[in-house]
Chain A
């Protein structure tokens, strides 16, 4: 009955068994932990633009992060030597991205005070209930996806209970999007059809005051459900001052909800939001954005080993479109009632995840414009990342993506992390 030995030679001694507990000195640094990177990045236009430099990005960046151990602070800043930015003229720009303190006034309350990045919502590069500042300039000019979010000066209070969790944010109204103004990417000003470029940058004035954002969320089994409310301003210029022609940020409220969870072997999400442009309820003010309703559906699934496919459908429907058309001044670019987008993203990891390739294509069935974004990163060592990226705009001149056709760019970057 004894089984014959089928195994290859067994391990001589099973292994070293010791009785001691495993105690090593606490590896966390004494006062603070420092990390960061230096990066060289260069993106060039695919088509020429008489109102712009050839490059959309030409810079050396040093990023530093300091995280406190005993005192829970976080500080992150970039020192930028930028060949494109006329203002700095190569002297270097200091951009504080994070400067915050994390407090825990009670067991179930987290408060983060100061400059910080804030994100919520379910989309992939698309946002409905996340009305926190974005950096569209960096994103479309060719910087890494990490720079899509711009910092906000805010207080974030998180209250966590078994019944529901609540995120309450007070944000400075001065924390607006870093929106495209013509400096790197030429565009058409919608309210008057004026071409904006490096020689006539679109200037705007951010409002002062405090804005409020709220999220109530919890999971039901595997499904994450959230309700949102925002009371503040449009974060990109949503209107123009009639007298000065400078951009303004009209008042905005957003109410919405989202759900995300497993479906058909992948993850599905749905989000909607009601945009109430408070200063122009009727849509009759041509200098202020109308309100709109937005919906975003997403689905992501692994389709092969280390390969993921994501698809999204987005629709923004303007309120009071007839009133908007009737009151639109001559020369303005008339927006369609519906702005829709379909996106497809493919991501692949290879070489033990040292190689990452991702491509996302956005296409509008209504406006027929599109944006393709591709990114390939290779990490020959843990510290070094080599990157190649592409951003390509296609469409008629008066479409949201098409207007940036001269901004289509291809770039490379080298990053050293420490």
Chain B
């Protein structure tokens, strides 16, 4: 009887210890892979009175946290109007990335492999836009409250990361991250992601407003999503060179 009680007492901690990775995977899936495919208008307000406007199309190629295609069409500011960006995300190998420069009709392949650099001059990195694979870090569940799981994650490889660890506060109901704090090697928080507003679109909880603050860069960027739609049945051939040269307007509306 005592043994059974002891087993039952320890059972929750066993369950929790295994599922830090599960929680991380579910959170990544909820944030970056919801709905199979989707579109959204995204506006970035970057401190220093700068802004970017774009439309993003996404399509999962298989399971959540797997390969994914992303197409971004920029409209503002004026000098990036019709610039487009294409990513074939492959968590298990290297992404393929292209940029289209309309003034030159040039489809350029992007050599940059560093994903933790500023996306179009904002405080969000490429990796923040496309999603950091949950398999790249070791996760530990360090705290649970009524509403949140708190995960602490450390990178499996120090290459290409500037943080020592990060803590994610994941909402239990939606599995969306509400806050992510990045810690430097001195143990100080130097960068923070905050979800400011979540809406449920077609039954899918979606972060529609978020902010990334970065002390090393100075300032912050706030992103707002509008006209979010899921389950569009986007064909795979939308994510090809064709869409770079001629924007797929029927999907961008």
Contacts and interface: CB of A to CB of B under 8 A. Distances in A.
Interface of A: 1, 3, 5-8, 10-11, 14-24, 26-28, 33, 35-37, 65, 67, 72, 102, 108, 110, 112, 116-120, 145-146, 148-149, 158, 160, 162, 165, 217, 222, 224, 260-262, 265-267, 269, 300-302, 305-306, 308, 310, 349, 352-354, 381-383, 385, 415, 417-418
Contacts of B228: 21-22
A15 B225 contact: no
Nearest to B189: A8
Nearest to B217: A352
A352 B241 contact: no
B129 interface: no
B26 interface: no
A6 B142 contact: yes
30 contacts: A1-B13, A10-B145, A11-B178, A15-B178, A15-B197, A16-B197, A16-B198, A17-B200, A17-B205, A22-B228, A24-B227, A72-B249, A108-B237, A118-B105, A119-B105, A145-B104, A146-B103, A222-B94, A224-B109, A269-B109, A300-B111, A302-B113, A306-B114, A306-B118, A349-B117, A352-B46, A352-B123, A382-B51, A417-B78, A418-B78
A265 B226 contact: no
A160 B240 contact: yes
B121 interface: yes
Among all A-B residue pairs, the 9 with the closest Cβ atoms: A353-B121, A24-B226, A146-B103, A119-B105, A382-B77, A300-B111, A417-B78, A35-B78, A267-B111
B237 to A, nearest CB: 7
Contacts of A266: 111, 113
A221 to B, nearest CB: 9
B159 to A, nearest CB: 11
B106 interface: yes
Contacts of A17: 174, 198-200, 205
A261 to B, nearest CB: 8
Nearest to B90: A222
Instruction: Please indicate which of the listed interface residues B49, B112, B217 has the most CB atoms of chain A within 10 Å of its own CB.
Output: B112
Contacts of A261: 109
Interface in B68-115: 75-79, 81-82, 88, 94, 96, 101, 103-107, 109-114
Contacts of B174: 17
Contacts of A162: 237
A117 B142 contact: no
A28 B75 CA distance: 10
Chain B interface size, as a band, is 35 or more
B42 to A, nearest CB: 11
Contacts of A6: 142-143
A270 B114 CA distance: 24
Contact of A302 (B78, B114, B121): B114
Given A165-B241, A222-B96, A7 B49 contact: no
B167 interface: yes
B126 to A, nearest CB: 11
Given A3-B143, A267-B111, A308-B112, A20 B103 contact: no
Contact of A26 (B147, B167, B227): B227
A261 B217 CA distance: 32
Contacts of B106: 119
B117 A305 contact: yes
Contacts of B18: none
Nearest to A6: B142
Interface in B158-208: 167, 169, 171, 174, 178-179, 181, 189, 194-202, 205-206, 208
Instruction: Please indicate which of the listed interface residues A27, A37, A382 has the most CB atoms of chain B within 10 Å of its own CB.
Output: A382
A21 B199 contact: yes
Nearest to B40: A22
B196 A15 contact: yes
